[in-house]
Structure 1
Amino acid sequence: MTDLNVRDVIIVGSGPAGLSAAIYATRAGLRPLVISSSAAGGQIATTDLVDNYPGIEDITGAELGQRLWDHAEHLGAEFEFDQVVSIDRREGGSLFEVVCEGGSLRARSVIYAAGASPRKAGFAGENRFGGRGVSYCATCDGMFYRGKEVFVVGGGNTACEEALYLAKVASSVTLVVRKDHLRAMRSLRDAVLSSPMIKVRYLTRIEGVEGESLIERVVLASVDALGVPTREELSFAPGGVGVFVSVGQVPQSAPVCRLAELDDQGYVVTRPDMSVATPGLFCAGDVRATPLRQAITAASDGAIAATSAARYVGVLGD
């Protein structure tokens, strides 16, 4: 007799990987439950403009995420808002127990697509002024700095995207780059370097931010052309400056760390079919070790993971 309280598959995460998995799982005949702790689309929802998703030339991240969510829901996927704490094997290894803050759920298979969260830069005052001058999302918080000066920490694709977005609203943008070059793709580099609103400070880092309730001083540490270290303290009116940190991601792999192999950066190591060492567990998207983390690759991961899960539970043949 089938236990209706046991899901065919539980999908953790509502980014492109998780929602793509939900779409493919329902089409394969599974009954997926998506556990989401964020808005539709996950981190993609915080992206101002997505212009590299095939077939869609110009769309906001929030709209793309909502379209994916609506598609999965239309096909029959169910959703629950909760935070996953851990995932374990139960009942002789035949079922998974997904432990959430709101309770426990059981499933024959799990697709873990919880993604990654922003990495902190580590400067003094970063934690203290989080949400009060220090931010990790330009599209989320950029409007609070309309007409103000902002700093963006980082030199990769996301940092350049953040700087270009902030250049639309801030009075000036300073991109603080530790290295002597930008690591972003050429189109982004060219856009940043040609923008009159963006100043790039190479071989520079933020040493700290200071103030009372809001940031009033930003301390920069640099190396000049002769290799001599310099220290510069910039003063602002309280609340007149913002610091946006964009220095990479931290994979949210803790709930599956006992069930899957992690690489030296904490990303889940998967096989080509998105499976891991524990049978029935599949990982997809930004949480796994992959050479490219984009919406399109995450969606592809989700499709593969769902198809693999369907085969695992016996819905699809080999």
Structure 2
Amino acid sequence: MEQAIRDVVIMGTGPAGLTAAIYTGRANLKPLVIDGSQPGGQLMITSEIENFPGFPEGIRGPELMDKLRQQAGRFNTDFAFGNVTEADLSRRPFQLRLDDGKEILTNALIIATGANARWLGLPSERAYRGKGVSACATCDGFFYRDLEVFVVGGGDTAMEEALFLTKFASKVTVVHRREEFRSSKIMSLRVEKNPKISLELNKVVEEILGDGQKVTGIRLKDVKTGEITEQSCDGVFIAIGHAPNAELFEGQLDIDEYGYIETAKTSTATSVDGVFACGDVQDYTYRQAITAAGTGCMAALDAERYLECIR
């Protein structure tokens, strides 16, 4: 029996992927959405979201993703659990293979696989995610009004996070393992001159301390002397970068030096006709749920126009 060819397949079920599913579903394209390794994306580990339009009282991350999933399902979206382990973009239709061996053919592909924050790898870091440990100051900074927080990192991302947190926190301490920051000079100067920010240089995080319910402090190690110190705090923001989930497409799509899929300036089109990318896998600037949803809408409209042209 000849295998059915999908009009459009969407990889990823974060805000970008599910928004793309809603729009392609409403266009009667009957999209297939592949969950990936983290169904729901990074918002599944976000306890409270207060800046997504339409929810004046805020909403929990998992609840928001469940609502988006239900909305996509309302428009005849099909879901497939699992990961895409192989993708052949050199043939038409495109060929995808899941980890269970199932093969999927599609005329258009929307990549919404997102990005993962890089973590330190400490068990305590994982234990207190959403309980005082975060990788997004824009998302969670509001909850630390008049409290003391630490930012871990030495690049521009860490500087931006620290400066943003001064709008809320009473004190922000930046921890960096080297003597000098890797950030641009102007960002470093802004941090060094801010009266709310103090620095802990040549230090690494040994442990994040807590009472079982929330973060209460941090344990640091001096990389030169080996001295261990503990300081109290209310939150720890990890700002050591993000890793886009684009490895599968290396050698097939244009990917920048940081691992993000490159898209056209005026659309979500990639370097291969019929393949579109949206959300954090191609956005290294904003990385917000609402901007991911916006690019998911763009990718759906771009895919719909592409399919009209090839029919």
**Partner residue of 1:31?**
30
State which of 201, 206, 210 in structure 2 corresponds to 1:209: 206
How many residues were matched structurally?
Answer: 271
Q: Distance in 1 between matches of 2:267 and 2:219?
A: 47
Residue by residue, what CA displacement relative to the aligned partner does 1:23-65 show, whole Å, maximum 9, x if unpaired? Answer: 0001111021100035553111211222222222211211111
Superposition pairs for residues 76-87 of structure 1, below 5 Å?
76-87=76-87
Against the structure 1 CA distance between its residues 84 and 305, is the aligned structure 2 distance closer, same or farther, given a 3 Å change threshold? same
State which of 74, 97, 100 in structure 2 corresponds to 1:99: 97
Q: Distance in 2 between matches of 1:293 and 1:158?
A: 10
Q: Distance in 2 between matches of 1:11 and 1:219?
A: 43
Unaligned runs of 5+ in 1: 143-149, 211-216, 223-228, 237-241
Q: Distance in 1 between matches of 2:155 and 2:34?
A: 39
**Alignment RMSD:** 3.8
TM-score by length of 1: 0.71
Q: Does structure 2 conserve the Cα–Cα contact (< 8 Å) formed by 1:177 and 1:203?
A: no
Q: Which amino acid aligns with 1:102?
A: D
**Partner residue of 2:271?**
277
State which of 227, 230, 242 in structure 2 corresponds to 1:232: 227
Q: CA deviation at 1:259?
A: 2.2
SS of structure 2 residue aligned to 1:207:
strand
Q: Does structure 1 conserve the Cα–Cα contact (< 8 Å) formed by 2:220 and 2:228?
A: yes
Residue by residue, what CA displacement relative to the aligned partner does 1:195-231 show, whole Å, maximum 9, x if unpaired? Answer: 9xxx975243653638xxxxxx944238xxxxxx765
TM-score by length of 2: 0.73
Q: Distance in 2 between matches of 1:278 and 1:173?
A: 44
Unaligned runs of 5+ in 2: 173-195, 208-217
**Partner residue of 1:256?**
249
Q: CA deviation at 1:313?
A: 1.8
Q: CA deviation at 1:307?
A: 1.2
State which of 125, 145, 156 in structure 2 corresponds to 1:134: 125
Q: Distance in 2 between matches of 1:137 and 1:262?
A: 33
State which of 250, 258, 261 in structure 2 corresponds to 1:265: 258
**Partner residue of 2:61?**
61
Q: Distance in 1 between matches of 2:259 and 2:94?
A: 22
Q: Which amino acid aligns with 1:116?
A: A
Q: Distance in 2 between matches of 1:189 and 1:243?
A: 14
Against the structure 1 CA distance between its residues 45 and 64, is the aligned structure 2 distance closer, same or farther, given a 3 Å change threshold? same
State which of 128, 137, 157 in structure 2 corresponds to 1:157: 137
Q: Does structure 1 conserve the Cα–Cα contact (< 8 Å) formed by 2:4 and 2:105?
A: yes
Residue by residue, what CA displacement relative to the aligned partner does 1:242-296 show, whole Å, maximum 9, x if unpaired? Answer: 9874422100111122221111101011012211111111100000044311111
Q: Distance in 1 between matches of 2:155 and 2:292?
A: 29
Q: Which amino acid aligns with 1:220?
A: K
Against the structure 1 CA distance between its residues 288 and 175, is the aligned structure 2 distance closer, same or farther, given a 3 Å change threshold? closer
SS of structure 1 residue aligned to 2:89:
strand
Q: CA deviation at 1:177?
A: 5.4
Q: Which amino acid aligns with 2:124?
A: G
Against the structure 1 CA distance between its residues 183 and 66, is the aligned structure 2 distance closer, same or farther, given a 3 Å change threshold? same
Q: Is 1:7 aligned to residue 10 of structure 2?
A: no
State which of 285, 289, 301 in structure 2 corresponds to 1:291: 285
Q: Which amino acid aligns with 2:250?
A: C
**Partner residue of 1:145?**
none
Q: Distance in 2 between matches of 1:120 and 1:16?
A: 22
Q: Does structure 2 conserve the Cα–Cα contact (< 8 Å) formed by 1:118 and 1:250?
A: yes
SS of structure 2 residue aligned to 1:297:
helix
Q: Which amino acid aligns with 2:34?
A: I
**Partner residue of 1:221?**
222
Q: Which amino acid aligns with 1:257?
A: E
Against the structure 1 CA distance between its residues 49 and 108, is the aligned structure 2 distance closer, same or farther, given a 3 Å change threshold? same
